[in-house]
Amino acid sequence: MIKAAMFDTKPYDRESFEKVKGRDVDITYFDTKLDPKTVELARGFDTVIVFVNDELSKEVIDKLNEYGVKLIALRCAGFNNVDVRAAYKKIHVVRVPAYSPEAVAEHAMAMLLTSVRRIHKAYNRTREFNFSINGLVGFNLHDKTVGIVGMGKIGKAFAKICLGFGMHVIAYDKYPSEVPGVEFLSQDEVLRQSDIVSLHCPLTEDNHHMLNKDSIGHMKKGVVIINTSRGGLIDAEDLLEGIKSRRIGAACLDVYEEESDLFFDDRSGHILQDDILARLLSMPNVILTSHQAFLTREALEAIADTTLSNIQGFFAGEDVLPNEVCYKCEKVAECKGAGRKKCF
């Protein structure tokens, strides 16, 4: 029996994993996040199942290794919270590279439509029997230019939706591939030409704060920014200044750089200590959701299924771990061994 400890567990996680869990994996669920203070809870387990805001620093990884943990199973696609260099030759790391691209892409479009058609404001008005439509003027998406940064499965799903709205789609990707109806340009050109910019790329050292004072200054006045990827792609302070100067017309955010101590928990009875986030939330043209773009029944079931398959494959001694995160190569996408054999 494989003993697994799941951290940062929410009711929907437990429900989806219990639905697909096999008899060979015994999961103990912990509400708390994994970090240096809670890593002791992992003692005696074969694997840990973690999420985006769990902390897999060198200190935590060394402790997990000391406790005999053999596998870190991410139940998400991103792995910027894992010190992969510290894990090399100690603990294998697997992830869920694609669970439901459509779920995230649809959420991005839902936020965009809500913002540009003022649906959230209209909803609040009509619930108070205010049926005035003054101040609710939006704009058509048809014929607008949307720039997509990152054309993986989610980016492609979002592009398909945008093409259905009759939008002009331009994109940047480090490894571009031919996509019908999409024109690939440099990142600078995508940011410069777009009426709407949507980020669908992983967070790396190279693209940290890719949207900053300089890049925002070269974007169209009134541009709408969507981020359903990772908060660290945007310098939040520069985003705030861009909104105040009216260079940015609206921001639709499902992620925030300093979200780890805030998102996924009820903070309604607390005073928000993050001044930048508080100011962003005070802006009438900012829509923020708390990292829920993935949250559909289909995506949750796919996450649970792939995570458990990753665990079962590893402990069955399979030579190939198709969803393993590479440690030997700094550029994961360039690793010639990834997906064909274990990293070590």
The residue annotated as part of the active site, out of 92, 107, 168, 230, is 230
| Element at 49 (helix H, strand E) | strand 47-50
What is the C-alpha separation between 177 and 175, in angstroms, rounded?
A: 7
Token pair recorded at residue 295: 């949250």
> Catalytic: 118?
no
Burial (0-12, 13-18, 19+ Cβ within 10 Å), 169? buried
The residue annotated as part of the active site, out of 55, 257, 259, 324, is 259
Mapped onto helix, strand or coil, the DSSP state of residue 214 is helix
> Catalytic: 75?
no
Q: What count of residues does the chain have?
A: 344
Q: Which of 43, 101, 82 is nearest to 324 (CA)?
A: 82
Token pair recorded at residue 98: 């694609």
Mapped onto helix, strand or coil, the DSSP state of residue 126 is helix
What is the C-alpha separation between 13 and 70, in angstroms, rounded?
A: 22
> Catalytic: 23?
no
Q: What are phi and psi of 168, to 5 degrees?
A: -85, 125
Mapped onto helix, strand or coil, the DSSP state of residue 181 is coil
What is the C-alpha separation between 168 and 181, in angstroms, rounded?
A: 8
Burial (0-12, 13-18, 19+ Cβ within 10 Å), 21? middle
Biggest CA–CA distance in the chain, Å, is 65
The residue annotated as part of the active site, out of 107, 168, 200, 291, is 291
Burial (0-12, 13-18, 19+ Cβ within 10 Å), 284? exposed
For the CA atoms of 157, 158, 159, 162, what is the dihedral angle to 10 degrees? Answer: 130
**Cα of 154 vs its chain's centroid, Å:** 10
Residues identified as active-site:
230, 259, 291
